[in-house]
Amino acid sequence: MGSKNIYLDNHSSTQLDKRVFNQMKPFFTNFFGNPHSESHSYGWRSNKFIDISRDKIAKSINANKEEIFFTSGATESNNLILKGLAFSQKKKNHIITCVTEHKCILESCKFLEAIGYKVTYLKVNKFGQINLNDLKKNINKNTFLVTIMHVNNEIGTIHPIKSIGDICKKNGVFFHTDASQSLGKIKFDINYLNIDFASFSSHKIYGPQGIGALFIRKKNKVKLTPLFSGGGQENGLRSGTLPTALCVGFGYAIELAEKERVKNMKKIKNLKKIFLNLLQKNKVDFILNGKDVIENNINITFPKTNGDLLFSKLDDISISSGSACGSGSGESSYVLKELGINKNNAKSTLRIGIGKNNTKNEMIYFGSKILKILDDRN
């Protein structure tokens, strides 16, 4: 086991399912036509399979295929909603979000603030939860959008988006959620949840990297300002040639994810239990961050432990201390900071993302290795 690198960073990206890859292969070699070419069979075929994938994504969230728009990933989807909706506003200029949102939401909000829009950043408690009363109090006559992620990408806290959606609907405000971390893991019904816009990413559900989607509720008749100009693909919303193979991969990945969701999450829940039981049995001092956490997430702090030493000793375990999208900054996790976790504890915190391909032996090996590191420390 020691010679094999164990992958436990499934929040950041998942391994492409071989079944998905097999579905994609013909579209790299044989069915390579531009899906926007309307004058020949190669283009017709590509467009047909993209349409099938669009329908699969729509059905998985109880939407219509006309409400699904392909993007390069959730980051683009999030940018398109925040900026595209803001630029199309004639009178309203206020957005409400949360301090622990994904970087692409926070950076988009900063961009909009710099050009005159107003943004309210809701605080969270020590578990990463927002206060719904704070949300209600901050909605005003100029508020046009509330954007709160479904599941936090670092600590795994599940936000009460049904309640948030209800509040937004009652107040006539659009509601957007980044559902990258929940799609294929939690039942996601856009009608029950009262969601107007939702962002998704394929590579979080064992699909290919480089493709995502955006749900836009059709009956709202919202006109978004496109982020860039071109051939007017995706109903004029997102110009550029769609990558047929990636779209096909995303469609099949969500089909498999929904079909196997209960089985996969049951396995993941058991793997999580094995790991935590091993630590508890050996009386390890640790803190689990977050509350009402999604099953595949473990955000765990080992107090009074040298974080640099911890990570250096876990050289055959692929994990992270925070979001991969914020990596390279050299700073501690801003999410943990908002929870009130001090810098030293933040540095000795592991973000563990369990996936469907992980095994019992891997979790035991990982747990045993942590025990040894902590024993050597003493």
DSSP 326-370: GTTS-SPPHHHHHTT--HHHHHTEEEEE--TT--HHHHHHHHHHH
Tokens of 222: 């919202």
- Residue 159: name the closest of 216, 77, 97 by CA: 97
Q: Which residues are catalytic?
A: 325
C-alpha span between 204 and 102 (Å, rounded): 15
Cα–Cα distance, 157 to 289 (Å, whole number): 9
Tokens of 329: 């900054």
Sheet holding 297-301, edge to edge: 287-288, 297-301, 349-353
State the Cα–Cα distance between residues 77 and 201, nearest whole angstrom.
9
> Residue 236 in 3-state DSSP?
coil
* Dist. CA 90–CA 93, nearest whole Å: 8
SS3 at position 240: coil
Provide the token pair at 203.
Answer: 């590579």
Q: Which residues of 282-319 are buried (b: 16+ CB within 10 A; e: fewer)?
A: eebebeebbeebbbbbbbbbbeebebeebbebbeebeb
Give the tokens for residue 38: 């309307």
DSSP letters spanning 280-306 = HHTT---EE--SSB-TTEEEEE-TT--
Nearest to 36 by CA among 26, 23, 48: 48
**Cβ neighbours of 107 (radius 10 Å):** 16
Are 80 and 237 a contacting pair, CB within 8 Å?
yes
